[in-house]
Amino acid sequence: MLELSEWESVSEVLEFLYRKLELVIAARGEELIVREIHIIIDFKSWLSDSGVHLFNSWKNRQDDEGLLIEAPHWFLYKQRVALNDHERKLLGAAAAGGDPADVFCSVKDFTSDPNYMQNPVLAMPKAHGDGISPHPLGHALNP
């Protein structure tokens, strides 16, 4: 957590986080949403019907020359329709085509980094994801 403290409930933790972060996020012109997570998604099972197999996405690996590529620590997935002006500019001509429901992934080394590591990447075209259930498989954290 951000500092040592005692909380009696999840709502107290959420309130604390909101109070600590609201001015920082507002100064960036962004919206802060603080909420409790109730599900963990099993992406491997969820994506299996689409033929998508995530490999080496979230771990350190080596490039073709044997140099270490450290895994990013921050991922953001957005549909094409939700990309902001800056993200569309990074995509250039690729931003104009495709389906509004295409899903893009943006990556940073760390959450605190001000810039993306690379331009947003098309992670799942809508046509490719048509066979996926709209409700990801997962299990509740609070059964």
How is the chain split into domains, by residue range?
A: 1-36, 42-140
Q: Count other Cβ atoms within 10 Å, centred on residue 130.
A: 10
Pick the closest to residue 43 from 58, 33, 24, 31 (CA basis). Answer: 58
pLDDT at residue 98, rounded to an integer = 87
pLDDT at residue 143, rounded to an integer = 42
Check whether 1 has a pLDDT greater than 70.
no
pLDDT at residue 43, rounded to an integer = 66
Which residues share a beta bridge with 61?
69
pLDDT more than 90, % of the chain? 8
d(CA 141, CA 37): 8
Q: What pTM was estimated for this model as a whole? A: 0.58
pLDDT more than 70, % of the chain? 76
